[in-house]
Amino acid sequence: MQQVKIHLNEKDIPRQWYNLAADLPTPMLPPLGPDGKPVSPDMLAPVFPMNLIEQEVSSERWIDIPEGILDLLYRWRPAPLRRAVYLEKYLGTPAKIYFKDESTSPPGSHKPNTAVAQAWYNKQFGIKKLTTETGAGQWGSALAFACKLIGLECKVFMVRISFDQKPFRKIMMQVWGANCVASPSPETNAGRRVLKEMPNTPGSLGIAISEAIEEAVTDKSGKTRYSLGSVLNHVLLHQTIIGLEAKKQLKMAGEKLPDIIIGCAGGGSNFAGLSFPFVADKINGADIKIIPVEPTACPTMTRAPFAYDFGDTACTTPLLAMYTLGHSFVPPPIHAGGLRYHGMAPLVCQAIVEGLMKPRAYHQLDSYKAALTWAGTEGFIPAPETSQALAAVIDEANKAKEEGKEKVILFNYSGHGLMDLTGYDAYLGGKLVDYELPEEELQKYTAAIKDHPKAQMRKSGKW
C-alpha cells in the first residue's frame, strides 16, 4: 500500500515564518495614504497593534514564531500532508497528487494559523477586543476561536449572503463567544449608508471590512483593534507555516520539489501560505508551475487591472497596488463566499506581475463537479473555495495523463465543506448556474478607480 498520510511530530513544527518580501526580485509598490504618499507605520496604529505593523513592513526573510503561538498551534499542527491515491487511481493519472490538509483545525480551515497569531500579538499589546469581517464564515469562526483561547472580546461583521446561507458558521462563532452581525448592518455609518442605497444588497467583503474598521477606530477606550483574515503581508507570513511543513513532508515522502502547486485565492492567504516557501525555490532556479485559482464570477487576477485601490468599500484603508475589480464591486452571490473579494494580496499580485505564478479562473459548476469527484474518491467533502483549487488539480492530473508524465502536484486543501452543505444542496438540485462577469460590469466598477495614482508593473523579466 502506498503511504497516504505523512505526519510530522510536534518537535518538527517550523519555528520561523518565511517572508517572501525579502526575496522578490522586484519589490512591491508601497501602500499610499490619502495624500498619495507612502503610509508610515504609525498611520496604521489606530487599526493594528504595532507588533503586527512591524511584521507588515518587515523585509526580514525569517521571523521567529513565539513559543506562546506555537503552544496554540499544537492543537492541530503540524497538519498532515496526504496523497490523494484514490483520486489518482480514479483518474488513471501518472501524476502524484499531494495535499496539505488544513481542514483539520478546530474551525475547519487554514484561517486559524493567522487568527491565533494575530490574537496573541494583540493581547501582548494590551488590546481587549478585536473586530473583523467574514465572507464564508471561516475567518470569523477562526478569529472567534482564537479570541476565546486567548481571552479577547470578538465582534464579526458577516457578509449578508453568507449570514443567510451559512447559519451554522454564525452559531460556531457564538459557541466561541463572539458577537456576529450581518453586514451591511445598521450599527455603523458605513453599513447604514449602504443599506440606504441598496437595502437588498447581498453585501460584500469590502463593505464588511469598512464596518469592522469603523467599529475598531471609533472605540474611545483605544483598546479595540481590527483584524484581517487575508490580503496583508503579515497574514500571508503567518500562513507560510503550511508550505514550510509541506516541504519537510514531501522530503519524507521521497519527493524533491513539486512540479505544480495549486491553491484557491480569495485574498490570497492559503495559496500564499502553501506556495511562497516554494516561490523562493523558483526564484533560485527551480522549475515549478504555480497556479492561484479564482472564480469566473470574481475574476480579480485573470481579468482586472493592476492598479492602486482601497481594500474596502468605504475607502478607509490605504491604497494598495494590486489586481482589483474596483472597491465598489459587489460580486454575484456564488457559494464560494471566501473568494468574493474585489482585490488580492499585494505580495501575490507582485509575484504574478513578475511571472512567478499564472492565475486561472473556473466556473462554479466545474468546481462543484470536481468536489463531487473528490468526495466520491477521497471521501472528504471540501469547502466550495477549496473545490475551485480541485477543479485545477483534476485538469492538471488529466493533462499529465495525456502527456504520460509523472508530475508531482501539491495543493492546499484549505477547508472542509461540512458547514457549506446548502451550496451542495443547490448544486444537486440543479439550482446553480455559471456566471462570467460581463465586460460592461468590469468596466463600470474599474472606471471608479481611474483617477487613483497609477501602479507601475515592474518586473525583472526573468520569468
Ligand X SMILES: Cc1ncc(COP(=O)(O)O)c(C=O)c1O
Q: Provide, rounded to whole angstroms, the least separation between the CB of residue 31 and ligand X.
A: 18
Q: CA 105 → CA 102, 113, 162, 238, 424, distances in Å?
A: 6, 9, 21, 15, 22
The whole-angstrom separation of Cα 59 and Cα 209 is 26
Q: Provide, rounded to whole angstroms, the least separation between the CB of residue 88 and ligand X.
A: 23
Closer residue to ligand X, CB minimum distance, 145 or 271: 271
The whole-angstrom separation of Cα 455 and Cα 463 is 20
Q: Provide, rounded to whole angstroms, the least separation between the CB of residue 384 and ligand X.
A: 8
Closer residue to ligand X, CB minimum distance, 8 or 383: 383
Closer residue to ligand X, CB minimum distance, 157 or 195: 157
Under the criterion CB under 6 A, does residue 264 sit at the interface with ligand X?
yes
Q: Which of 270, 300, 313, 364 binds ligand X (CB under 6 A)?
A: 270
Taking CB under 6 A as the binding criterion, the range among 54-62, 212-220, 266-274, 307-315 that sits at the site for ligand X is 266-274
Taking CB under 6 A as the binding criterion, the range among 63-71, 80-88, 136-144, 428-436 that sits at the site for ligand X is 136-144
Half-sphere exposure for 103 (CA within 13 Å, toward CB): 20
Nearest CA-CA partner of 351 in 319, 385, 306, 386: 306
- By DSSP bridging, strand 289-295 and strand 260-264 are parallel
The whole-angstrom separation of Cα 24 and Cα 261 is 18
SS (H, E, C) 21-50: HHCCCCCCCCCECCCCCECCHHHHCCCCCH
Tell me if 339 sits within 8 A of 385, measured CB to CB: yes
Under the criterion CB under 6 A, does residue 269 sit at the interface with ligand X?
yes
- Copy the grid coordinates of residue 130: 478585536
Under the criterion CB under 6 A, does residue 414 sit at the interface with ligand X?
yes
Tell me if 49 sits within 8 A of 92, measured CB to CB: no
Q: Which of 107, 206, 243, 268 binds ligand X (CB under 6 A)?
A: 268
Under the criterion CB under 6 A, does residue 423 sit at the interface with ligand X?
no
Q: Which of 118, 138, 224, 300 binds ligand X (CB under 6 A)?
A: 138
Under the criterion CB under 6 A, does residue 135 sit at the interface with ligand X?
yes
Tell me if 96 sits within 8 A of 409, measured CB to CB: yes
Q: Which of 210, 233, 386, 446 binds ligand X (CB under 6 A)?
A: 386
The whole-angstrom separation of Cα 351 and Cα 310 is 20
Q: How many CB atoms lie within 10 A of CB 438?
A: 9
Q: Provide, rounded to whole angstroms, the least separation between the CB of residue 417 and ligand X.
A: 8
Taking CB under 6 A as the binding criterion, the range among 157-165, 322-330, 382-390, 443-451 that sits at the site for ligand X is 382-390
Q: Provide, rounded to whole angstroms, the least separation between the CB of residue 66 and ligand X.
A: 23
Q: Provide, rounded to whole angstroms, the least separation between the CB of residue 297 and ligand X.
A: 14
Q: Provide, rounded to whole angstroms, the least separation between the CB of residue 199 and ligand X.
A: 26
Under the criterion CB under 6 A, does residue 230 sit at the interface with ligand X?
yes
Cβ within 8 Å of residue 92, ≥6 positions away: 401
The whole-angstrom separation of Cα 373 and Cα 359 is 23
DSSP state of 290: E
Helices 112-124 and 138-150, interaxial angle, to 10°?
A: 40
Under the criterion CB under 6 A, does residue 206 sit at the interface with ligand X?
no
Taking CB under 6 A as the binding criterion, the range among 134-142, 152-160, 280-288, 324-332 that sits at the site for ligand X is 134-142
Taking CB under 6 A as the binding criterion, the range among 35-43, 64-72, 206-214, 261-269 that sits at the site for ligand X is 261-269
Taking CB under 6 A as the binding criterion, the range among 34-42, 125-133, 258-266, 323-331 that sits at the site for ligand X is 258-266
3-state secondary structure of 295: strand
The whole-angstrom separation of Cα 308 and Cα 206 is 15
3-state secondary structure of 312: coil
Under the criterion CB under 6 A, does residue 262 sit at the interface with ligand X?
no
Helix or strand holding residue 164 (H, E): helix 160-165
Taking CB under 6 A as the binding criterion, the range among 131-139, 178-186, 216-224, 312-320 that sits at the site for ligand X is 131-139
Tell me if 270 sits within 8 A of 414, measured CB to CB: yes
Binding mask 330-369 for ligand X (x = CB under 6 A): --------xx------------------------------
Largest Cα separation within the chain, whole Å, is 64
Of 95-124, binders to ligand X (CB under 6 A) are 109
Q: Provide, rounded to whole angstroms, the least separation between the CB of residue 374 and ligand X.
A: 14
The label of the residue with cell 499585494 reads 346
Closer residue to ligand X, CB minimum distance, 392 or 400: 392
Under the criterion CB under 6 A, does residue 311 sit at the interface with ligand X?
no
Q: Provide, rounded to whole angstroms, the least separation between the CB of residue 383 and ligand X.
A: 4
Q: How many CB atoms lie within 10 A of CB 456?
A: 11
- By DSSP bridging, strand 129-134 and strand 153-159 are parallel
Q: Which of 265, 288, 370, 391 binds ligand X (CB under 6 A)?
A: 265
Contacts with ligand X by CB under 6 A lie at 109, 135-136, 138-139, 230, 264-271, 338-339, 383, 385-386, 414-415
